[in-house]
Amino acid sequence: MAEADFHAGFIAIAGRPNVGKSTLVNALVGHKVSIVTPKPQTTRRRVLGMKTTATAQLIFVDTPGLHTGEGRALNRAMNRSAFAAASEADLCVLVVEALQWEEEDAHALQRLGSLGSPLGLAINKVDKVRPKDRLLPFIEAMQARHDFSFVVPVSAQRRENLAELEKLLTQALPVSPMLFPAEQFTDQDETLRAAEFVREQLILALRQELPYSVAVQIEESVLDGSLLRLSATIWVEREGQKAIVIGGGGGLLKNVGRAARLEMEREFGRKVFLQLWVKVREDWADDERALASLGFEEG
């Protein structure tokens, strides 16, 4: 491959919460680089996922969902982080959900459209649309809203039309040598990914009971032969939440620990021993200093 034919660059994946941005990044990268749950605001910080092909290096920036509620410090930090990522990227992709156009989508389009970098549109979750021709008027309406670099329907979950999206992304990126080693697929180390896998299982297990006021911090990570020993603290905001997270007889915490450990073993390719602790730190989501100490300082 001649150097002049190789493309590389940063692609910000943006949009309102819950449209499937993280699922799309994981599907394109082929690894779980970003956690996924049915709850909005699962992704809290910028996550990089890379895919290197024969013709390009696609560096995806998964961003927290863009939302209008800026009341809490955590929400503001997430919006800041998402826009910083989008404004530094070579290319942005707005992700929307097929046949769904909401106030927050309009808000996201308005802000991303004004950044000046090329903006493509991925219409996700088309697996939910039947019959498929119901998509056509939606695609036309979207094309009328903005002069997108491309508009492509996909299903991240079913991996439908992702090769087409990959081709469009490759064409839209600048000619550039690789920016990361070809085998690297994320910028997060194992510790950070481990903390995220715990948070994912907590959100899945708790659903309605706990909003997003939970953070996970890895206290200790030791490689003991081929065994990875991890100890993590789950931070909650209230004593009552602590009881919910632990669950009757410690059952909920045990299940969360087991599911997260299995995910780690699958992704890290080694045995994991995981210990979880639950501690209370009041109002951390409202406190900029507490956020910084939990790793939300960027953006």
Applying CB under 6 A, which residues contact ligand GDP?
17-23, 36-38, 42-43, 65, 124-125, 127-128, 155-157
Rounded to the nearest 10 degrees, the angle between the axes of helix 190-206 and helix 239-246 is: 90
Minimum CB distance to ligand GDP, residue 39 (Å): 8
Pick from 62, 85, 66: which is nearest to 76 by CA? 66
Closer Cβ to Mg ion, 19 or 58, answer by number? 19
Closer Cβ to Mg ion, 25 or 291, answer by number? 25
What residue 19 binds from Mg ion, ligand GDP, none (CB within 5 to 8 A, per partner kind)?
A: ligand GDP
Minimum CB distance to ligand GDP, residue 70 (Å): 17
**How far is C-alpha 260 from the chain's CA centre?**
17
Closer Cβ to ligand GDP, 42 or 81, answer by number? 42
Minimum CB distance to Mg ion, residue 23 (Å): 8
d(CA 297, CA 291): 7
Burial of 155 (0-12, 13-18, 19+ CB in 10 A): buried
SS3 64: coil
Radius of gyration of the chain (CA): 20
Closer Cβ to Mg ion, 40 or 247, answer by number? 40
Say if CB 90 and CB 176 are below 8 A apart.
no
Minimum CB distance to Mg ion, residue 50 (Å): 17
Minimum CB distance to ligand GDP, residue 9 (Å): 21
Q: In the complex, which residues of this chain contact Mg ion (CB under 5 A)?
A: 21-22, 43
Closer Cβ to Mg ion, 22 or 57, answer by number? 22
